[in-house]
Amino acid sequence: MQPIAPEDRRVANIREDAFVPFPGSDGQPDGEVLQVNGGRTGYGFHVYRMAPGTTTEAHEHLGDEEFLLIEGDLTDHDGHVYRPGDLVWLRSGTRHNSSTVGGCLLAVYLPDARSL
């Protein structure tokens, strides 16, 4: 087996590398993203970080959303509380927004609707 070529591997570290703002429809960031797939920011597999006191804008995904709450607290608009370690699936078309009191870090997979 051959070594993996440098152009075929990207590595980012959630503790050391810079996250980029993830803007809402109003242009104001409602979180930050770290991803290595080279795709559109906030799609595919990525890590999403919300600062304490953040609430995302209401949104609907055109593909199933899957995420793992790594650390912190997260509550959906309907009062459902997610805990660290929760692995979550939301069906395509589900409309929601989320908030955090103390901040949170999530590993997310979200297909780019342009590829569906």
* Structural domain for 92, as ranges: 27-115
The phi and psi torsions of 7 (rounded to 5 degrees) equal: -75, -10
Look at residue 65 and tell me if it is in a domain.
yes
pLDDT over 70 (residue 9) = yes
Here the CATH number for the domain that contains residue 88 is 2.60.120.10
Look at residue 52 and tell me if it is in a domain.
yes
CB atoms closer than 10 angstroms to residue 48: 23
> What pLDDT shows up at residue 115?
65
**Each residue's pLDDT tens digit, 17-32:** 999 998 877 777 889 9
The phi and psi torsions of 8 (rounded to 5 degrees) equal: -105, 10
Look at residue 13 and tell me if it is in a domain.
no
> What pLDDT shows up at residue 82?
98
pTM: 0.89
Look at residue 2 and tell me if it is in a domain.
no
**Each residue's pLDDT tens digit, 61-105:** 889 999 999 999 999 999 999 999 999 999 999 999 999 999 999
Residue in 5, 100, 4, 99 with CA at minimum distance from that of residue 57 = 99
